[in-house]
Amino acid sequence: MVSIVVTMSGATGLVFDLKHFAVHDGPGIRTTVFLKGCPLRCLWCHNPESQSPHPEIITHPERCIACGACVDACPTGAISEPGNIDPVECTMCGGCVEACYAGALELVGEPMTVGDVLGEVDKDRVLYESSGGGVTLSGGEPAAQPGFAARLLRALKERGYHTALDTCGHAPWGTLERLLGYVDLVLYDLKHMDPATHEELTGHPNDLILSNLERLNERGTPAVNVRVPLIPGYNDSDGHLRELGAFLSGLGRVDAVELLPYHRLGIPKYGSLGREYALSHIEPYEKGRLMEIREFLEGFGLDVILEGVD
């Protein structure tokens, strides 16, 4: 069994990716640690494998050599033909992944200790030093693994690294606050100002997210960048952008607003997970429109960063 016990003490975390040379998650060149599990289900999510708090098996049919090893390896008969796993019968034992040398089956979600993560992170120390970078904790939602996130962030601070926390904000304030003491910069996601629409788009209303952001603002530290994914037709109307701009400038302490324009790079992952992608009809932005949106928000006195264009 590969079943994972994420202990309450947070000695082990479930990590779904660890990205070296990350250049869009805070200052300098960074290593970003992606924790698995997220309370939100954003329609546009480009990392759908990050959502479930459990390990998952994803498939890459283009790598399959049809050797049949996975069929032979499955103890429950959940795999009738190569690469085709019946989710009902599957017990997540991981035997098929182990047998798949071609890498057509992949287990997403690796249990790692704080020491494991540090081992990877320390390799890039020279790069953090020369670039003013550090480590970013992202997800999923890091606050969904609060014990591990806190231990990891503390250990990173003890080593003198610059730390950033990328959060969707949907967590009890107390949980978030436990982390903030070890964080230099919060990358705080904000998707929509209207509670009902927010729920439609993400599965939850936004009251907790907005109130946490206000508290973070009052707290004074750490620095906060608000990140807004721009989804054509969903949160980019003038009315909504006006409301958003007014709210953020009213906070007063937001250091920068990062706009993350919708892209389609995550779509193949839905196929790998055997899931449907809800927004396949959306086309990415033209550059001109993005510049307009940036200018509009700058009108509120905000420092706006346009990711992928600037």
Partner 1 sequence: MDRIEVLKRNLGRVVVRRDEGEERLSIFTDPGVEKEPLPMRKANAFALLLREAPVHIYPEELIVGIPFRETPSREDPATRVIIPEGVSGQGYIDQGHRLNATGLSDEPYSPIVPSLKGYGVSTRYALFPHYATEEEIAEARRSGLDENSNPGHLQAGHFRVIKYGWSGLKEMAEEGLSMVDDSEMGRRRADFLRSVIICLEAAQAFALRYSELAREMAEDEGSPRRRGELLKTSEVCWSVAERAPETWWEALQLNWFTHLISHAQGAHQLGRFDQYMWPVLERDLERGGVTVEEAQELLECLWLKFCMLTEYTMDNLQNIILGGQTPDGRDATNPLSYMCMEATDRLETIDPKWSIRVHRGSPEEFLRRAAEIIKEGKSQPGIYNDEIIIEALQRIGVPLGDARDYSNAGCSEILVQGRWVPWAFEGRVKLLKCLELVMRRLDEFEAFDELMAALRDEISVAVAMAVSSLNLLQRAVPRISPNPWVSATVEGCIERKMDLTEGGATYNYAAICASGVADTADSLAAVRKLVYEEGVVEKRELMGALQTDFEGHERLRQMLLNRAPKFGNDDDYVDSLAAEIVEHTSGEVSRHRNPRGGGYNLGLFTYGDYIAHGIVTGATPDGRRAGQGISPNFSPCPGRDRKGPFAAMRSTAKINQLLTPNGTALDLMLHPSALRGPEGTDKLVSLIQAFNKLGGMQVQFNIVDGDTLRAAQLEPEKYQNLTVRLWGFPAYFTRLPQEFQDHLIARTEHTV
Instruction: Compute the residue count for the chain.
Output: 310
Q: Which of 4, 10, 11, 28 binds partner 1 (CB under 8 A)?
A: 28
Nearest CA-CA partner of 75 in 2, 151, 153, 184: 2
Quick check: 112 and 152 in contact, CB under 8 A?
no
> Judged by CB, which is closer to partner 1: 53, or 133?
133
Q: How far is the CB of 71 from partner 1 (least distance, A)?
A: 13
d(CA 74, CA 82): 11
> Judged by CB, which is closer to partner 1: 82, or 169?
82
Convert residues 82-121 into a mask of x (bound to partner 1 by CB under 8 A) and - (unbound): -------------------xxx------------------
Q: How far is the CB of 164 from partner 1 (least distance, A)?
A: 15
d(CA 30, CA 19): 8
Q: How far is the CB of 149 from partner 1 (least distance, A)?
A: 22
> Judged by CB, which is closer to partner 1: 127, or 210?
127
Under rule CB under 8 A, residue 46 binds partner 1: no
In terms of Cβ atoms closer than 10 Å to its own Cβ (0-12, 13-18, 19+), residue 45 is buried
Give the chain's largest Cα–Cα span: 62
**Residue 253 three-state SS:** coil
Q: How far is the CB of 133 from partner 1 (least distance, A)?
A: 8
Under rule CB under 8 A, residue 223 binds partner 1: no
**Residue 229 three-state SS:** strand
> Residues in the site for partner 1, rule: CB under 8 A?
19-24, 28-29, 65, 67, 69, 101-103, 123-124, 126-127, 129-133, 308-310
